Amino acid sequence: MNRIRVAPVPVLTLDGPSGTGKGTVAAAVAEHTGWHVLDSGAMYRAFAFAANKRDVGPDNPVALESVGRSATIEFWVTACDGIRIIVDDDDVTEQVRGETAARLASRYAAVPAVRAILLTRQRAARRWPGLVADGRDMGAVVFPDAALKVFLTASPRVRAARRYKQLKNKGFDVNLASLESEIAERDEQDSVREASPLVPAVDAEMIDTSDLAIREVVIRVLNLLEEALPGSSSGGQHLT
């Protein structure tokens, strides 16, 4: 019998803490390659929103499994409004983008039952021609066979300043000093948890983005991707 070996859908994982530029870099790399994007942080935010709405706290794994079965979480790609986050048929994009929702997401994200539910959904996002997966444990846990794993870092001050600008642009009322301490607290919570803590995969390429413009980070990632998977970085639009 002839066997046909089918190559797996290629994955690029982009992990790191908040404010390192992951989301922006993921979107730019996806545009350039023509690959899909998985924003796993948005999945955790949406799940936390759904559980909270049903009054199910992070300390109730059995009820959380039922949230996993009953909640519908969708991402709609729109032409003029970017990606919209839909939970139980309601557009909750604005509600889940702020720091309060992020703190809530971080608490639910520490629960192994929640991670198991979302792991299946995250792996289901792997589709041709490829996937750029943005998160905390994409390289270490979710896609261990990724073609390229990148872990972004930046100094706490730079990360807080970036997040401040991002939230201000979205119309949130934020304070830089309290944002810096909230980010530090969330990083600590994400890093010390037992289930999939925020740590780079052993085979990840580290990029410190503190003194780099987004464009420079994107070029570095595309160059690394071209080395790892020749021909992969030219499927979509070209950088101008």
Binding stretches for ligand DC (CB under 6 A): 18, 40-42, 44-45, 102, 105-106, 109, 135-138, 186, 190
The least CB distance from residue 109 to ligand DC, in Å, is 3
Give the residue with the Cβ less far from ligand DC, 34 or 156: 156
The least CB distance from residue 240 to ligand DC, in Å, is 28
> b/e per residue, 190-216, with b = 16+ CB within 10 A?
beebeebebbbbeebbebebeebeeee
| Residues linked to residue 132 through DSSP beta bridges, in sequence order | 12, 37
| Residues linked to residue 14 through DSSP beta bridges, in sequence order | 134, 150
Please state whether beta strands 11-15 and 82-87 pair in parallel, antiparallel, or not at all (unpaired): unpaired
For the purposes of burial, counting CB atoms within 10 Å of the CB of 12, is it exposed (0-12), middle (13-18) or buried (19 or more)? Answer: buried
Q: H or E stretch including 109?
A: helix 99-109
Give the residue with the Cβ less far from ligand DC, 40 or 93: 40
Give the residue with the Cβ less far from ligand DC, 106 or 232: 106
Give the residue with the Cβ less far from ligand DC, 209 or 233: 209
Find, among 212, 190, 207, 186, the residue nearest to 199 by Cα: 190
- ω into 17 cis (within 30 of 0): no
The least CB distance from residue 64 to ligand DC, in Å, is 14
The least CB distance from residue 42 to ligand DC, in Å, is 6
Q: Angle 86-176-24 (CA atoms, 0-180°, nearest 5)?
A: 45
How far is Cα 102 from Cα 92, in angstroms, rounded to an integer?
13
The least CB distance from residue 131 to ligand DC, in Å, is 14
Give the residue with the Cβ less far from ligand DC, 46 or 233: 46
The residue number whose beta carbon is nearest to ligand DC equals 41
Give the residue with the Cβ less far from ligand DC, 46 or 221: 46
The least CB distance from residue 160 to ligand DC, in Å, is 13
Give strand ranges (E) for 79-185.
82-87, 90-91, 131-135, 148-153
